[in-house]
Amino acid sequence: MRCDKCRNEAVFFQAYSGRHLCRRHLVADIETRAKRSIRSHRWMRPGDHIAVVVSGDRKSAALLSFLKKLIAGRRDVRLSAVPVCEEDNGAGNISAALRVAESLHIRCIKIPAPGGSGTASNGNVTKIAVAASLDDIAHSILRQFLFGNADRLVHPPPAEWYRNPVICPFIAVPSEELDHYWESEITGIGCLSTTSCHDILLQETLALLEAFSLRHPATRYALLHIAEDLSSGNVAALGAVARPAGCTPPPGILREEGYGGV
């Protein structure tokens, strides 16, 4: 199959757009949507120090790589990585997260856990970037409706994590496309595509959303638009509290590791 943009060999079919895309045009399409999300939500300003939560999966690795490219050449925005671990695979996740940060020459910092009283060597972080994808947001929205918590969409909690505002540049990008995005970076670093999920209710709602989306490919985007409207654009709050397939909020932050800044 050929790319609908340039007629080179296609590597991905976007069911919701009906387009076949080569690697180059898929990457460009993903970056365009991420930049649009950042602009529309005003998630980046001069003077920002953005800390990216990196948990050893492809989504967070892709986010770190994307933001590094986005701020390349800018001196008014800084970027750091915050390696975290999952409960099921702490050592493996931390190791992968550190390798990703090191390969991109981005220094790692620590931020105190919620409610913690320790001193953070965070270099005055102004934003926390979380790799919440379109799938994660759509699943979170569906769960709120199914479990009778739709009021949380109208009155979402503050979009904060570790006492810093949360940004989610990938809210309009499906997880599967983010896997391809990270693979296109050709780093040679293996990252998990998804993490395991042991919650039965989560498994059922994920399966429900997946089955419906197969018949109606634009379903996830429809849920995102509903959330944007109901929350008056504060969809980052859902990204801050969402539990993507098997992903629990980071229980701890690694000690600072010096890899040099961007």
pLDDT above 90 (res 203): no
Q: How many CB atoms are located within 10 Å of the residue 64 CB?
A: 26
Report which of residues 6 and 85 the model is more confident about.
Answer: 6
Structural domain contains residue 7? no
Radius of gyration of the chain (CA): 18
Total-model pTM: 0.84
Q: Which residues contact 244 (CB under 8 A, 6 or more apart)?
A: 59, 132, 133, 135, 136, 139, 175, 195
Given a contact cutoff of 8 angstroms between Cβ atoms, the answer to whether 248 and 46 are in contact is no
How many domains, the chain?
1
Structural domain contains residue 260? no
Report which of residues 152 and 98 the model is more confident about.
Answer: 98
Predicted pLDDT of residue 71 = 95
Structural domain contains residue 210? yes
Q: Position of tokens 């379903």?
A: 219
Structural domain contains residue 254? no
Predicted pLDDT of residue 201 = 75
Structural domain of 49: 12-241
pLDDT digits (tens, 9 = 90+) for 68-126: 999 998 999 999 999 886 554 445 567 888 889 999 999 999 876 555 544 445 668 99
What is the pLDDT of the chain when averaged over all its residues?
Answer: 81
Look up the CATH number of the domain holding residue 178.
3.40.50.620
Structural domain contains residue 206? yes
Structural domain contains residue 46? yes
Structural domain contains residue 259? no
Structural domain contains residue 3? no
